[in-house]
Amino acid sequence: MTTSEEQSEARTRVHVFRDDALGDHDAVGLARAIRRGEISAAEASRDAAARVRAVEARLNAVQVHLDIPAHGPVTGAFAGVPTFVKDNTDYQGLPTGHGSAAFAPRAARRHAPFTRQFLSTGVTVLGKTRLPEFGFSPTTEYEGAEPVRNPWHTGHSAGGSSGGSAALVAAGAVPIAHANDGGGSIRIPAACCGLVGLKPTRGRVVANAQGRQLPIDLVTDGVVSRSVRDSAAFLAAAEQHWRNPKLPPVGLVEGPSDRRLRIGLLVDSPNGVRSDDDTRAAVTQTAQRLERLGHTVEPVELSIDPHFTDDFLTYWGLLSFLIGVTGRTLGTDFDRRRMDGLSRGLREMYVGSWRNTPGVLRRLKRTREAYAAGFRGLDLILSPVLAHTTPPIGHLSPAVPYTTLIERILAYVAFTPVNNVVGTPSISVPAASTTPDGLPIGVMFSGRPGAERTLLELAFALEADQPFRRLQDD
């Protein structure tokens, strides 16, 4: 690489790790420093706000900033840790825009139930992060605004729909941030930005208000983080606020288990999408690491209904259709004609196929039977998060003609939606290998309902075996 190429490459990376109150702490480490009195919660918030201001012009990750709050006594596992809430979740006094230009959002009158659960962990919210319109896209891009950019390479996507949260965490602006997942929206940006992203079991955290009203609730809330222990500590702290009695408790997972697992290996999508070479290599190398750690890895097939991709797409279209019909509940000026090209295309597709809805719902609900059958004799399944590596900005833009765009999305998001339909947990962790231009690649582990502890223990083992690559070290 020539000197000019090295300089150009360096300019594409953006981070704000520095010698201030946050340092390079993860959320657990920062909370510990606050508890010990080494720094104050006010200092942590002040320096996080300064980091956000320093990075925002390059990343475009923030939708709404809050004034730095006054700090009284703070409690909880993450007491005093600065963070952000994704802008599809109500935070009292702040507008909830859902990433859409179709209406002018109004200030929320109260916190969403998950916001209250998130705040119970002790975090300090500094604002709201950007997402693509209504969370439909696997990239956080817009027709009429700057995209959220990947801090590892600003010419590439930060993923979606929790792209703003992932960009801030990866760049070091805050150590942890809210995310939610209705088709991969925690795991996809985690994979793109080199983070840990756990999608919990359906019902593990308090239910999303919108999802409860739908025939299949796809959305689960959580966080994106730079360390396994942060994701584990979040889940344990969330359980202190509310725990679903129908699920086994997770408790605080603090490291790897001695248990040796049987892990299925799935390299290509059950519906025939082939992974690209870099992704295949990352998953295969992860399987080899697992075997070296004493686990058994064997190929597995998931016999998902051949209609699954089309059915999920139809259900996606139903969601866009319902938003178009009910949008005035978001803002009296809501105009569905101002929804972006992806949302409009999904809605129009559904209008042409709505008669298929009963069969679509029936087949999607039966997916849990095929998923359970694939787990016979297995503890977890290892797969890619995405079928190919992180695309450049523009590849998945909502300005791309719908027919081309949806083909590109389906060739990219080929693994994550099954867990949303079935309601099962899965986690994205950074692979040891990267793309030739240094972008992270995520690998995914999926489990049966309630298997978060096993997922976290295995993620801890991989992190201990080879610490995750850090942006600030490049």
Out of 45, 185, 225, 397, the active site residue is 185
Residue 410 neighbours by CB under 8 Å, 6+ apart: 273, 309, 313
Q: Which of 137, 161, 165, 446 is catalytic?
A: 161
Which band of pLDDT confidence, cut at 50, 70 and 90, is reported for residue 6?
Answer: very low
> Is 185 tagged catalytic?
yes
Taking only the tens place, the pLDDT of each residue in 55-95 is 999 999 999 988 777 666 778 999 999 999 999 999 999 99
Question: In the annotation, is 199 catalytic?
Answer: no
Which 8-state DSSP code applies to residue 71?
Answer: -
Domains of the chain: 12-473 (3.90.1300.10)
Q: Please tell me the distance from the alpha carbon of residue 136 to that of residue 122, in angstroms, as a whole number.
A: 30
Nearest to 136 by CA among 292, 267, 1, 318: 318
pLDDT band at 9 (very low <50, low <70, confident <90, very high): very low
Cβ atoms of 270 and 418 closer than 8 Å: yes
The average pLDDT across 174-186 equals 98
Q: Which of 33-42, 71-80, 240-249, 371-380 has the lowest mean pLDDT?
A: 71-80
Whole-number pLDDT of residue 11: 54
DSSP 210-250: TGGGSSS---EEEEEESSHHHHHHHHHHHHHH---TTS---
- Residue 474 binned pLDDT confidence (cut-offs 50, 70, 90): confident
pLDDT in tens, 254-297: 999 999 999 999 999 998 999 999 999 999 999 999 999 999 99
Per-residue pLDDT tens over the stretch 326-362: 999 999 999 999 999 999 999 999 999 999 999 999 9
Q: What is the pTM of this model?
A: 0.97
Q: What is the pLDDT of residue 5?
A: 41
Rounded to an integer, the average pLDDT of 170-181 is 98
Tens-digit pLDDT profile for residues 32-57:
999 999 999 999 999 999 999 999 99
Give CA–CA dist 347/235, Å, rounded: 35
* β-strand pairing of 149-150 with 426-434: unpaired
Q: Average pLDDT of the chain?
A: 95
45, 86, 100, 137: the catalytic one is 86
